[in-house]
């Protein structure tokens, strides 16, 4: 699997009081073993935008709906034992499936 999540990001996300939607998204992606670049593609945003959300920046209403739908799908698939993925190609395939495109 590619590069993991940085220690600085994880500390910021798991800091007490960080209950932003971006922090929840990050925690969910860590549990599901999804790579941020693939999540960004699925959400149709840049990695920079995604990382700003994870660090607590506000999410525009136009993107918030997509983020919430993505998170619901990931939670459902975690409960169904479809996730966590085992490899980077699996992460990409999963995120593209959610987006509605093929690899």
Nearest to 37 by CA among 102, 94, 100: 94
How many other CB atoms are found less than 10 A from the CB of residue 29? 25
pTM of the model: 0.84
Instruction: Please write the tens of the pLDDT for every residue from 45-93.
Output: 999 999 899 888 899 999 999 999 999 999 999 999 999 999 999 999 9
- Identify the pLDDT of residue 60: 94
């Amino acid at each position: 699997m590619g590069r993991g999540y940085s220690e600085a990001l994880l500390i910021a996300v798991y800091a007490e009081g960080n209950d932003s939607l971006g922090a929840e998204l990050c925690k969910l992606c860590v549990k599901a073993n999804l790579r941020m670049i693939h999540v960004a593609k699925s959400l149709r945003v840049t990695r920079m935008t995604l990382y700003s959300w994870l660090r607590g920046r506000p999410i525009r209403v136009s993107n918030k709906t997509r983020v919430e739908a993505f998170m619901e799908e990931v939670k459902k698939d975690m409960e169904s034992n479809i996730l966590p993925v085992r490899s980077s190609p699996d992460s990409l395939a999963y995120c593209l499936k959610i987006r509605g495109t093929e690899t």
